[in-house]
Chain A
Amino acid sequence: MSIATVFEVALAAVVLGLAIWTIAVPETYSATVGFVAYGLLVALIWVRLDAVDVALTEAAIGGGLGGVVLLGAAARLRDAEATAAERPDRFTRLIAAILSASIAAALGLAILILPDHAPTLAPVVAANAGATGMANPVTNVLMAFRGMDTMLEKVVLLLTVVGVWSLASDRAWGGRPGPHHEADPHGVLAFLARLLPPAGIVVGIYMLWTGADHPGGAFQGGAVLASMWLLAIMAGLADTPPVSSRWLRFILVAGPGLFLVVGLGGLCFGAAFLAYPVAFAKPLILGIEVAMVLTIAATLALLLAGAPERNA
């Protein structure tokens, strides 16, 4: 076994150990902590699989912001979760274990017997990269070849915002999401919230910009920007905007809106819906991505903040 394989086996073992811990540990809060650690290590697996774009997304959104959501909920539900429920009896657990293991075995088998000559679209993607003028193949797939999926997924994000907001009480409708954070102006959080955002904003914009040719892009950049904004909110330096705010609404639809407009431009004047004219492909895509990074940052931050709770 080479050193690389030893490392991979060890990584897989640690990841699985964390996964077991996450499922088996009695206390919910510990389980969420376990899951955040798991998410970060899975990002390492993605690096080993040579999928750096996914690794960045997994670390930023899957493990990072997703972890924050879960940890926050675990903290708020600490008392309730302990009393919540009756655990299924031993027999049910045994059946569940057997069936889950069978599904996992079937899946493992299906992976092991995949054909030796794996089909791939990598050469086709590389051959058509000229159409967009960008060198990052993942960005090309997301923004050009499978643009429809990306646009619909932005609508999914927007709908999640609508869904979360719809859970507000009627009295708080139009107000600000989440609790108000009063922080000590000289505390550590406030210090961090002053120190980090300038650097974080630069990192976020860089991730967006570099995504054209290197790993990175609107999601990863947006996640970084969102976390900077959240940091400022939690430190009490900024407040969440009221959900009735016109500019907030505008930012939340800017990404998919611009995507749609450019797509319709292609339908009316170009080759097809979501087709970019070769000469303008790169600036158009970058324009959409700029709008998208703002939309993603605002959406992610608001999803973490929750339903409107306070009047503006």
Chain B
Amino acid sequence: MLSPALETSAGGFLLVLSIVVPVAGVLLAFALGDRYVRLVAFTVVPVGSTIAAAVLLVLPQNDGHLAYLLGAWPPPLGVALRADGSSAVMLATTAIVICVVAVFAASDFRPASGNRRAPFAFWILLLAIWAALNTIFVGGDLFTLYVALELLTFAAVPLVSLEGRAETLQAALRYLLFALLGSILYLMGTALFYGLYGTLDIVLLSHRASAEPGALIAAALMTTGLLAKTALFPLHLWLPPAHAGAPAAASAILSGLVVKGSFFILLRLWFNVRPGMSGFAAAQFLAALGAGAIVVGSIVALRQERLKLLVAYSTLAQIGYLFLMFPLAFNASGQLESGQALAGGLLQTVSHATAKAAMFLAVGSIYAGFGHDRVTGIRGAARALPLSVMTFALAGFALMGVQPGGAALAKELLLQETARTGQWWWAGVLQVGGMFTAAYVVLVLAHALSPPDQPVALVAKPPRSSGLAALALALCSLLLGLLPWEPYLPITYAAESKLFGVEALVKLLVTVFGGAALAILLSPWPHPLAFSAAGKTIMHLIAPLRRTCIGLGSLVETGDGVLRQWSTASISLLLVALLLAALMFVAN
């Protein structure tokens, strides 16, 4: 819940600092020039993290919300910054991921090396992404959120093309153009909201907005724009090449944090601006798109030859997972409730941010070590790069819902909500999603753990500090379920007690074995174990089934290729907008 008060609360200045400190870092780093950028970043990172920690400390003492009136002007004339439990959690998550990525990138983007261009851009863009995300998490005005969203896009796009190869330039341009289409749709909605209610302040809007046609059109347009920026299936044309083409540290930020920015604004729009307006049907539609993302993203991920593309497609699937909470959050009177479903969704966001960032860092180290990232060519990685493989494994466990990970707790919360609201079909999707995640984790680990034909000769040895930083992040994701969430998110501890025990173990085993089966059936790449005697018998037995499954998979991949063409994707975008508007009209 956002603070209803239209006045600055004690400790509200922390919200200002959370934006101002990284912005000051951007300006300083730019002015001081190439040699000092990393130094500035390393000064800003601890300060910014302290501020995030301070918000976490202060928030519970202020009844769970903070507010600050910029320039002391109350809305609607001025702009307010507001934080609630979810803002605090996201501020902290962002700070942790940025810290780890900064440590990881310290050697890759050393300004002393011959190349000064990439470090200059990387460190400034990193700080800018931080500033933009913090503004998104504490911004209380829809237009300020728009500016922050653009800041985020403009900082993210150059990260994609940092290496200057033609395919990354193309990926960056596609990303930029589609993101601009998304933000212009969002802007259309803000214009209509201002025309209807004379304010863009989220709290004031929540009092004034009603389900009239103009507001519904505005909401549909804004939602669609944000979906495009979040890359929800089928609006994902830009994500795989952009996230797979960027340098490892940048991929971690793009995949772990940047897509969460537009997602968070979407939560604000649905849960804070208009909790009574969105309608059950539109929420079901969003979750259905999410289910589509899980199936298509996972199947295509299993068919990727390159590890980075595999992880990028798995991000696509995980984004779909985030949208399953929308239909579960409706209460009996048809209002979206900031309750346990939202808490589950946010927890999922946090665990994906940490785990996926760690995964991309690990894959980056494997790429750097082997000089390539072909899934079939990383045999022996477990012995050659134990730290990276362990990071990948831990992050993967966290994502697929191994206790006491954040994802496990989130899944438990969402499953409880499906039972409470009687929407059993989403429980099925939740279970299948976990299985698919297990499938690609098992697939990669099976290759990395199998013994190599000949001794592995590493091209380069990644620095130990980088490996340890990534490992710490993966561990953090795996331990999220143990943290005290109660002051920030509405979580009942009945869920947490269910984390351990026989029932949980059985669920986990089902997930892992289901995942292994999916990996065998859907991955077209040969695996060394398949040539052992037992393997051969099994493979022989399931050969017809496997052929069918691989054929289906190839069909899905072709479909994904069609959906990722520019004209198809932008037509889907307009279709989604119109469908959302129609569903909202029907509901009201």
Contact = CB atoms under 8 A, between A and B. Distances in A.
Interface residues of B, number: 69
Given A99-B578, A103-B578, A260-B20, A163 B154 contact: yes
A266 B16 CA distance: 12
A92 interface: yes
Contacts of A109: 213, 217
Contact of A99 (B32, B77, B574): B574
A215 interface: no
Contact of B128 (A155, A246, A250, A271): A155
Interface in B1-53: 8, 13, 16, 20, 23-24, 26-27, 30-34
Interface in B571-588: 571, 574-575, 577-578, 581
Contact of B195 (A114, A128, A151, A174): A114
A170 interface: yes
Given A158-B27, A173-B117, A246-B33, A121 B155 contact: no
B16 A152 contact: no
A281 to B, nearest CB: 11
A187 interface: no
State the main secondary structure of chain B at its contact with A. Answer: helix
Of B20, B77, B151, most buried by chain A (CB within 10 Å of CB) is B77
Contact of B147 (A118, A152, A160): A152
A114 B215 CA distance: 10
A302 interface: no
B20 A113 contact: no
Interface in B61-118: 68-73, 76-79, 114-118
Contacts of B147: 149, 152-153, 156
Contacts of A107: 188, 217
Given A113-B214, A152-B151, A155-B26, A264 B20 contact: yes
A244 B34 CA distance: 8
A274 B31 contact: no
Of B13, B31, B164, the most chain A CB neighbours within 10 A belong to B31
B307 to A, nearest CB: 26
A115 interface: yes
A155 B131 contact: yes
Contact of A272 (B70, B121, B135, B154): B70
A6 interface: no
B71 A272 contact: yes
Contact of B213 (A110, A169, A257): A110
Nearest to B122: A166
B117 A275 contact: no
Given A103-B574, A160-B154, A249-B30, A96 B70 contact: no
A51 to B, nearest CB: 14
B198 A120 contact: yes
Interface string A121-140: 10011001000000000000
A148 B128 CA distance: 15
Contact of A155 (B16, B151, B195): B151
B155 A159 contact: yes
24 contacts: A103-B577, A109-B213, A110-B217, A110-B218, A155-B23, A155-B27, A156-B147, A156-B154, A159-B155, A163-B121, A163-B157, A168-B117, A170-B115, A173-B116, A174-B34, A250-B31, A252-B30, A256-B23, A257-B27, A272-B8, A272-B70, A272-B72, A273-B16, A273-B70
Interface of B: 8, 13, 16, 20, 23-24, 26-27, 30-34, 68-73, 76-79, 114-118, 120-121, 124-125, 128, 131, 135, 143-144, 147-148, 150-151, 154-155, 157-158, 161-162, 164, 169, 188, 192, 195-199, 213-214, 217-218, 567-568, 570-571, 574-575, 577-578, 581
Q: Which 9 A-B pairs have the closest CB atoms?
A: A119-B198, A166-B121, A163-B158, A99-B574, A272-B72, A173-B117, A271-B72, A274-B71, A110-B214
